[in-house]
Amino acid sequence: MPKTAIYPGTFDPITRGHEDIIIRATKLFDRVIVAVAANPKKQPLFALQERLDLAKAVLESCPNVEVLGFDDLLTNFAKAQDAQVILRGLRAVSDFESELQMACMNRHLAPQLETFFLAPSEQYHFLSSSLVREVASYDGDMSEFVDPLVAKALKLKKV
């Protein structure tokens, strides 16, 4: 049976760290769904449609990757997509507690779904969308951290 993994996140915006996890996942699963959460409570810098468009453009050359938006309970969305696996990236110890809590809650809600954690390449361990937004707001060099399309979109966001 083909295996589908769903990689949920806010992707505000998609970074090289996210890309690293997605590329690793494409080697392990038949289908990888990048699930961009609407997440209005986080008051994202980029609107859902902008985050979707950026992720789609950045991941255009990855053949078994789909980018979809969602505004539902993750376990419901994963079931609707016939996913067997929820994928999350683990950077530092600081990610661990909340990620474990979320994995346990998701298992409680949907026991048939397994959460997999992947670690990115070391150069991305410190990278987060929030840091990228912060550095970009002061015109810092973004080229190592995000795709050129994302760097351009960040520049345009700055008033």
Taking the least distance from each CB to ligand ADP, the nearer of 11 and 46 is: 11
Could you tell me how many residues make up the chain? Answer: 159
Say which of 24, 56, 91, 157 is annotated catalytic: 91
Residue 13 near ligand ADP by CB under 6 A = no
Active site residue 129: yes
Binding mask 95-114 for ligand ADP (x = CB under 6 A): x-------------------
Instruction: Tell me how far apart the alpha carbons of residues 143 and 123 are, in angstroms, rounded to a whole number.
Output: 13
**In the annotation, is 125 catalytic?**
no
Pairwise CA distance, residues 54 & 72, whole Å: 21
Question: Which single residue is written with the structure tokens 């949920």?
Answer: 8
Give the pairing of strands 4-9 and 31-37. parallel
For residue 42, indicate whether it is catalytic: yes
Give Dmax over CA atoms of the chain in angstroms: 49
Q: Which positions touch ligand ADP (CB under 6 A)? A: 9-11, 15, 17-18, 21, 88-89, 91, 95, 120, 124, 127-129
Q: Which residues are catalytic?
A: 18, 42, 91, 129
